[in-house]
Amino acid sequence: MSLKFDHVFQLKVALKGIRPPIWRRIEVPCTYSFWDLHVAIQDAMGWLDCHLHEFRMWVPLTGFEARIGLPIDDGFDSEEADTLPGWKIPVAELFTLANPKAAYLYDFGDGWEHTVTLESIFPRPKGVEYPRCTAGRRACPPEDCGGVWGYQDLLEALQDPSHERHDEFLEWVGDSFDPERFDIGAVSFNDPEERFYHAFPQLRP
């Protein structure tokens, strides 16, 4: 398929290891970089972008898996970095309908892993602002809750008033936390360029 600048990628982002599933469907411009996509995923899922992230994706031309994210340990401009800088890699360079899947890892301590799947590519309708979230299910887990197993322990404690940590966890997440609730109207997207220079002011031109 010949892409133009006015095409849109529809992607499904699903958090692995949790049932019932937690997922979001987002639409982003095909001109997005992997950094831009990272910001859109963070905003749609409900994460706070306070930890490292990485995409892992098969590259048909090389026959190897690419790691794309923040090459901090190797230096931002290192040609030898194991992790490629996400802001330099267009999503359209790797995502195709023949190569539609990537892993997205967030918070290497808690180890949240998502599957990102390109579902369709279509011409951009007039008058529609992107990125946008068009569907989703269930609330995003709280930051720093210990990954999949920690989140399961958290839910068990919240559901059982007699649990020894019920009050502690309830105070932490708040009375309003509902793991089954997803409010699509509450999703708002940040400017990925502003997020980038706020995080890395030393790279501002």
Which pLDDT tens digit goes with each residue over 51-101? Answer: 999 999 999 888 999 999 998 654 444 444 589 999 999 999 999 999 999
Q: In the prediction, which pLDDT does 72 show? A: 66
Question: For the chain, what is the mean pLDDT?
Answer: 92
Specify the fold of 7-138+182-203. 3.10.290
Domain boundaries for CATH 3.10.290.30 within the chain: 7-138+182-203
Long-range contacts of 73-80, Cβ-Cβ distance < 8 Å, separation of 24 or more: 76/200, 76/203
pTM beyond cutoff 0.85: yes
What's the confidence (pLDDT) of residue 134?
A: 98
Contacts of 7 (CB under 8 A, 6+ apart): 29, 30, 121, 122, 123, 124
Reduced to 3 states (helix: H, G, I; strand: E, B; else coil), residue 98 is coil
Q: How far is CA 183 from CA 5, 17, 73, 115, in A?
A: 30, 22, 37, 21
Q: Rounded to whole angstroms, how far apart are CA atoms 169 and 149?
A: 15
Q: Residue holding tokens 């999503």?
A: 91
pLDDT category, 37, cuts 50, 70, 90?
very high
Percent of the chain having pLDDT more than 90?
83
- 142: confidence class by pLDDT, cuts 50, 70, 90: very high
Predicted confidence at residue 81, as pLDDT, reads: 55
